[in-house]
A and B are shown apart, each in its own frame.
Chain A
Amino acid sequence: MKFLLLIWAGLKRKKLRTALTLLSIFIAFMLFAFLGALKEALSGGVSMAGLDRLIVRHKVSLIQTLPESYKARIQAVAGVAAVCHQTWFGGIYQDPKNFFPNMPVEPAEFCAMFPEFVLSDAAKNSWLNTRTGAVVGRATAKRFGWKIGDRIPLRSPIWGEPSGQSQWEFDLVGIFDGAKKGTDTSQLFFRYDYFEEARQQQKGQVGWYTVRIADPDRAGTIAAAIDREFANSPYETKTEPEGAFAQGFAQQIGDIASIVMAVVGAVFFTILLVAGNTMVQSVRERTEELGVLKAIGFSNLRVLLLVLIESCCIAMLGGFCGLGVAWLIIASGNPIPSLLPVFILPTQSLITGALLAVALGLVAGVLPAWQAMRLRISEALRRGA
């Protein structure tokens, strides 16, 4: 601990340089953190997917509908524990840029299938008792300042008007939170029976089914069994585990995500290269001082540790601050909720970032530390003959 002073002295030596190096590292790690958040936003669905759930959709494309009558037949397939359906409503709240997903569902089955949406029992009951009731996720509720009891109007270009009215209106009976950190709480769900009654086209059709299976290891066989059930019918299905489905989506965005990632990664390493080089330089300039320390009696090992710890201090200070500030910014809100449903800094990224900061300190410091250790005192102190 008493040697802390020496390390501090080293850092203080050229304050401007230390500050600039710190700032470069700070920026690099901020970038890294935002990178992590972006990646999570674009592909996070995969990690949130339920291991024991399958998605059943129209084989040709997700936008094709399936008959509601399929529900019973899917339920009858061996290994299926529960089935529920959702349909893409595409409702617009005031302006298209206020986009958030909204779907009609069967409330009881839906809540049972998706325990990650945490809804109070009171809200659940309310929903079951209100035909025009809807529940919405915390993120969207916050975004528009909605409270329970509000009337939410939506218009749907896909489904047209509800019979007897000019636009769809729902009563907000509950706000749900996510059970885990990355759960999407941007969606709104309303009742399928109201939807079925009021819609004027494609009655009896739903978007896709979610299936819970008793044994996740049999996911492949059960999926194949479901698809076999509907093969060669007018509505052929494709069934896959929820994770695979989410993965497919992530890969549709895919190219963009990986390109941006690669590109920012390159920048990150470039900035770090510059910062690392400065640290190497700064030690080289202190040859004499290191010689003096050795002359006084600091062992080679001590001197090596001194340099290494100093390097790690800079790297960790800059790195942790960069990660921390980015975390604060990210936690303060989602800048584009309509395109990024989830905007968080995954813990994984934080840990990786922290480790990288330490690694940077070690890598940047190891060469000059080694040189400092091997310094010949008489040469270091030689100033003029």
Chain B
Amino acid sequence: MSVLTQLFAVAWFNLRSLPERKAAALTAAVGIAGVVGVLVGVLAIAEGFRRAMTVSGSPDVAVVLRSGADSEMTSGLERDATRTIADAPGVARNSAGPLTSAELFVIINLPKRTTGTDANVPLRGVEQGAFDVRGNITVIAGRRFATGRNEVMVGAGAARAFGGLDIGKQIKVGQNAWDVVGIFTANGGLAESEIWTDTAVLQPAYHRNSSFQSVYVRLTSAAAFQEFKDALTTDPKLNVKVLRLSDFYEEQSTAVTKFITTIGVFIATLMGLGALFGALNTMYSAVAGRTREIATLRALGFGAGPVVVSVLVESVLLSIVGGGLGAAAAYLLFDGYRASTINWQTFSQVTFAFRVTPLLLGNAIAFATVIGLLGGLFPALRAARLPIASGLRES
């Protein structure tokens, strides 16, 4: 028999005897399914958070803060400064004027729907230009807030996560009451965790009559950024820092993303080790239980190579099946699952959805396959190297 035929024969023989060993095989598969499922789940959190933080960072949008501020909360810009910024070169314009939005960012407390306890929710005052600047705001229910009125529109994520944010309801913030008039999406981006209103109405409510915190600007093109930035940083009357929106978001999310990813990788490593030991155990038992069979095959003339490979085939197959099950379960359970957490850098909640991407699934299954390979390799080698005579004597 050629090597290939031997291989198929032995592998087929192995797999056919699987039902007899189904308890052990099932346990191995379930073990790997669990590990893969969990891995996908944890990494889906990191991916979802990262996506929420960065997807809305368009390359031709820039944000201006006071120099030295590490978040909008610690920034401050006067009205004159915002005017200068709006007139800088590189800023896109339409018939209404420059596409900029001078904004104010505060935090209010609203109860989380799930726990009823208070959460820090961002309330952002924007100018009308904000919609053109961001470019991806879509009102999915109700309408935009009207300027000059105590009205707010709520990001879809915030509406889902926090209580009292339904159209027609009012939220009371200190001495002020605001009507909820609409719900919007922002392509899954950060704005969906926020509540928006007119800056001009927000300022007096917070006693900040002529100060803002940031200016969002749409540039004529992505390449215009440098020109825009240089103009502002060299202006002696201004003391600002200028960032591309995508870089700004990236900066704002590093802490939490790093945290989740570190923890995720740590957990994955430990889990992988645990699964590996489990797989090794199972495969050693599986092989040990068939020492006599394998020795018989070899006595009959099957080569050691096909024996090794057939054991590996079984091990990898079990892992892929288990991994596939785990990945499928994780996808069904986790993809799109909504959660929210606090971003310490902005001290406010970010709502996000778990994202199980094809890449993630692929990685997870590859991970399972590696476990299967390693788990089967050593037992297989040992089975092949055992002297045939002693193998025949074993029970």
Chains A and B share a contact (CB less than 8 Å): yes
Identify which of B45, B175, B281 contacts A17 (C-beta below 8 A): B281
B337-349 vs A, CB cutoff 8 Å, 1 = contact: the mask equals 0011110100101
Stretch of A24-32, A77-85, A295-303 lying at the B interface: A24-32
CB under 8 Å from chain B, chain A span 143-202: 155, 157-158
Identify which of A23, A155, A253 contacts B342 (C-beta below 8 A): A253
- CB-based contact B68/A270 at 8 Å: no
Instruction: Return A366 CB to nearest CB of chain B, in Å.
Output: 17
Instruction: Return B324 CB to nearest CB of chain A, in Å.
Output: 16
Tell me whether A281 and B173 are in contact in the complex, defined as CB-CB below 8 angstroms, given that A254-B115, A267-B34 are known contacts: no
Minimum CB distance partner of A18 in chain B: B281
Give the number of chain A interface residues (Cβ < 8 Å): 55
Q: Most A CB atoms within 10 A — which of B34, B69, B274, B342?
A: B274
- CB-based contact B339/A270 at 8 Å: no
- CB-based contact B74/A273 at 8 Å: no
What separation, in Å, do the CA atoms of A253 and B119 have in the docked complex?
Answer: 9
What separation, in Å, do the CA atoms of A264 and B42 have in the docked complex?
Answer: 9
The verdict on A94 contacting chain B, using a C-beta distance below 8 Å, is: no
- CB-based contact A27/B274 at 8 Å: yes
The verdict on A16 contacting chain B, using a C-beta distance below 8 Å, is: yes
CB under 8 Å from chain A, chain B span 354-388: none
Give the number of chain B interface residues (Cβ < 8 Å): 61
What separation, in Å, do the CA atoms of A28 and B31 have in the docked complex?
Answer: 12
Tell me whether A256 and B274 are in contact in the complex, defined as CB-CB below 8 angstroms, given that A61-B108, A263-B38, A270-B31 are known contacts: no
The verdict on A225 contacting chain B, using a C-beta distance below 8 Å, is: no
Identify which of B34, B281, B285 contacts A266 (C-beta below 8 A): B34
- CB-based contact B281/A338 at 8 Å: no
- CB-based contact A271/B120 at 8 Å: no
Stretch of A102-110, A130-138, A244-252, A304-312 lying at the B interface: A244-252
The verdict on A90 contacting chain B, using a C-beta distance below 8 Å, is: yes
What separation, in Å, do the CA atoms of A21 and B274 have in the docked complex?
Answer: 9
Tell me whether A60 and B259 are in contact in the complex, defined as CB-CB below 8 angstroms, given that A17-B284, A27-B274, A92-B70 are known contacts: no
Identify which of A17, A20, A63, A277 contacts B347 (C-beta below 8 A): A63
Tell me what chain A mostly uses at the interface: helix, strand, loop, or mixed. helix
23 A–B pairs (Cβ distance < 8 Å), ordered by A? A14-B288, A17-B285, A20-B284, A24-B281, A34-B266, A38-B263, A59-B174, A60-B108, A60-B109, A96-B70, A236-B174, A251-B115, A252-B341, A254-B114, A263-B41, A263-B267, A270-B33, A273-B27, A274-B278, A277-B24, A336-B259, A336-B262, A339-B344
Which A residues have a C-beta under 8 Å from some C-beta of B? 14, 16-17, 20-21, 23-24, 27-28, 30-31, 34, 38, 59-63, 90, 92, 96-97, 155, 157-158, 234, 236, 238, 247-248, 251-256, 259-260, 263-264, 266-267, 269-271, 273-275, 277-278, 281, 335-336, 338-339
Which B residues have a C-beta under 8 Å from some C-beta of A? 23-24, 27-28, 30-31, 33-35, 37-38, 41-42, 45, 68-70, 73-75, 106-109, 112, 114-115, 117-120, 173-175, 255, 259-260, 262-263, 266-267, 270-271, 273-275, 277-278, 280-282, 284-285, 288, 339-342, 344, 347, 349
